[in-house]
Structure 1
Amino acid sequence: MHIEQLLEIFCTYSKFIKGLSDNTIKRYSENINNFISLSEVNHFDDINEQKVLAFFFKGRVERKWKSTTYRTYYMTLIVFFDWAVANGHLETNYVKGIELPKIPKSLPKNLSKQQTNLILETTLNFPCSHRFIRYRNHAILSTFVFAGIRKDELFKLTLDDVDIENRTLFINGKGEKQRIIPISYRLAEILKRYLKERQKLKKTCPAFFTSFRLNKAYTDAGLRRVVKSIRECSGVYFRPHVLRHTFATLMLEGGCDVYSLSKMMGHNDIKTTTLYLSASAEHLRSVLMKHPLEKNSF
């Protein structure tokens, strides 16, 4: 059977049996198709150790892959080849044993309090054709800032997932892992104001954030347009994920402990959360001021 046909079967298996997200399936398909095209293979019989090594070597040297890109292809192909071996399409997983480059440790990018407030104020005062649009856009960016959720998690939010009365968000996270995030008083008021405008337009779509003209869930394309407009107007460059990083940093600066923050962020490993300790100069400064000799005079 042609390898592209087997790729389709693999993606179907990964989605419906393993329950992987659409984004993961899309990444699998794109990366494996790139391997098929660049390595000029039509069947699994065409694959050998030399072709796999050449693919990674060319990617690193000729295509100037970053370490993260290299690792993404590595993890995708190792899963695909494992599946192929298990189903008798391939004798050996030729990716196993290939060396992985080290990923340079970089601190998460975040915004200052002033920059974050400027973004929210700009969004709330941005000229829009309808009040619903202004309040929806402000609610979306505020949810990133005050709850620290991922973009995909925001699009998955339904009306049932948002409990304003008890001030909680029910999140369907990465890998179908669920968690509950408390809502601050300020965010609760912002979401409540958006819901009033939504009710006036008689939206019945189950998605929490909806389109203005259509009774459908808000889209990634729509969010990109909003972010672009607010960036240009405020003069502050940001992406939704930067707002998530900003939430984490500001929470630490406000005194939140790492364990609680890790739960709110949905991190599998608390080590991921501790990166934000290094990113927050204010947090480190406040900790340093607790040195027992700090208050001694000389």
Structure 2
Amino acid sequence: MNIELLLEDFCYYSSYIRGVSDMTTKRYREKVGAFCRTMEVNTTDELNEKVVHNYFLIGRVQKKWSVATYRTYYMTLKVFFNWCVTKKHLEENFIENLELPKREKSLPKAMKKRDALFLLEVVYNYPYTHRFLKYRNHAMFSMFLFTGLRKNELLNLKLNDVDLENLTVFVRQGKGNKDRIIPISYTLAQSLKKYLLERKKQRKTCPEFFVSSNRNKGYSENGLKLLVNQLREASGLYFTIHTLRHTFATLMLEGGCDIFSLSKMMGHSDIKTTTIYLSSTAEHLRSQVVKHPLNID
């Protein structure tokens, strides 16, 4: 059976029956497609344990995969092969006997408070070609740093999702298909108000909250990628959008936020995921160690 055709059926099933996100089906297509191209297999008859195991060996040795990348390919191919076995396109899942490496226990990379403030300053004062860009970009990066939104959560925000009167942001179907509400600060609200005023002047009517400067449609992932590169160069700071999310979490803990509330704002399914940030912020740990009863006043 042709693997490419099976993959399309699998993605259709995953989207409409299992209800996975568009990003997940995109990952299925990318990872399974990469496997087929590298190992030059087109049909299920060409699959066997040796072919599958050699692919992961190539990944680790030649392509220098990190443990995280290895695990992503592993889980993607495993779920696809399981579906193929269920549908009787394969007799067995050839990935089952492959050893899965342990996760690397690295701390989340976050900015210091001064670097986060400096980045917002650079975003605001960058020599843009149009003032609309100044207010939109500042609002966008403020949203990342003050709410911890994921990239796709921000790009998918609708106008009705941001309630400036009640100071909340409604995240619709975030990771894991979960809705959540995040409170926003007065500082962030001021930046958003300035952006909305400029947006209105530009007569943008599309439903997306953050919009393209030259079209009446939502801001794109590619546009955000280009903007991040511009700001890295202008600020001299290396960061990713996920760095901004980590920065939100560590700064919230340093400010005294409790771990349960932070977990809810981050949209974590398990509070254990949030506790890793306790180890990444020295200021929070320092504030706790002074509570030792043997400390001298």
Same fold (TM over 0.5): yes
SS in 2 for 1:178: strand
Distance in 2 (alpha carbons) for counterparts of 1:121 and 1:63: 38
Q: Which shifted more, 22-31 or 249-258?
A: 22-31
1:241-277 Cα offsets, whole Å, 9 max, x none, are: 1111000000000000111101100111111111111
Which residue does 1:286 correspond to in 2? Answer: 287
Report deviation, 1:67.
Answer: 1.2
Give the equivalent residue in structure 2 for 1:136.
136
State the one-letter code of the partner of 1:245: H
Count of equivalent residues: 296
The Cα shift of 1:57 comes to 2.1
Return the alpha-carbon distance in structure 2 between the equivalents of residues 50 and 124 of structure 1: 54
Q: Distance in 2 between matches of 1:113 and 1:26?
A: 35
3-state SS, counterpart of residue 141 of structure 1: helix
Number of the residue aligned with 1:74: 74
Shift in CA distance, 206/246, structure 1 to aligned 2, threshold 3 Å? same
Equivalent residues in 2 for 1:10-159, closer than 5 Å: 10-159=10-159
The answer to which of 106-115 and 122-131 deviates more is: 122-131
Q: In the alignment, what sits opposite 1:179? A: 180
CA offsets per residue over residues 117-141 of structure 1, 9 Å max, x none?
1111111111222221100000000
- Matched letter for residue 287 of structure 1: Q
SS in 1 for 2:169: strand
Looking at structure 2, the residues matched to 64 and 131 of structure 1 have their Cα atoms a distance apart, in angstroms, of 43
Measured in 2, the distance between the counterparts of 1:20 and 1:229 equals 33
CA–CA distance in structure 1, aligned partners of residues 55 and 228 of structure 2: 36
1:279 offset after TM fit, Å?
0.6
For residue 216 of structure 1, give the secondary structure of its aligned residue in structure 2: coil
Deviation of residue 62 (structure 1)? 2.9
- How far 1:24 sits from its partner (Å)? 1.4
Q: TM-score, normalised by structure 2?
A: 0.96
The Cα of 1:42 is off from its aligned counterpart by 2.5
CA distance in 1, matches of 2:129, 2:33: 43
1:73 Cα deviation after fit: 1.0
Deviates more, 1:216-225 or 1:139-148: 216-225
Aligned to 1:17, the other structure's residue is in SS state helix
* Letter of the structure 1 residue corresponding to residue 154 of structure 2: L
Distance of 1:228 and 1:39 partners within structure 2: 34
Secondary structure in structure 1 of the residue aligned to 2:182? strand
Q: 1:257: which partner in 2?
A: 258
Which amino acid in the other structure matches residue 54 of structure 2? A
Query: What's the CA shift string for 1:13-47, capped at 9, x where partnerless?
Result: 21222222222112111111122223332221222
1:72-120 CA distance string (max 9 Å, x none): 1110111001111111111111111321111210000011111111111
> Do residues 213 (structure 1) and 187 (structure 2) align?
no
**Between the two proteins, what is the percent identity of the paired residues?**
58
Instruction: Flag structure 1 segments of 5+ consecutive residues without an equivalent.
Output: none
* More displaced stretch, 248-257 vs 56-65: 56-65
The separation in 1 between residues aligned to 2:197 and 2:218, in whole angstroms, is: 17
How many angstroms apart in 2 are the aligned matches of 1:43 and 1:129? 52
Normalising by structure 1, what TM-score?
0.96
2:240 counterpart of 1:223: no
Q: Distance in 2 between matches of 1:6 and 1:236?
A: 44
- C-alpha displacement of 1:193: 1.1
- Match of residue 5 from structure 2: 5
The Cα of 1:59 is off from its aligned counterpart by 2.0
2 CA distance for matches of 1:178 and 1:168?
A: 13
Q: In structure 1, the residue corresponding to 2:170 is in which secondary structure? A: strand
Equivalent residue letter for 2:230: S
User: Using the alignment, how far apart are the partners of 1:176 and 1:88 within structure 2?
Assistant: 29
AA aligned opposite 1:70: Y
CA offsets, 1:137-189, max 9 Å, x none? 00000000000000010000000111110011111311221111001111111
Amino acid at match of 1:279: S
SS of 1:291's equivalent in the other structure is coil
Task: Give the AA of the match of 2:239.
Answer: F
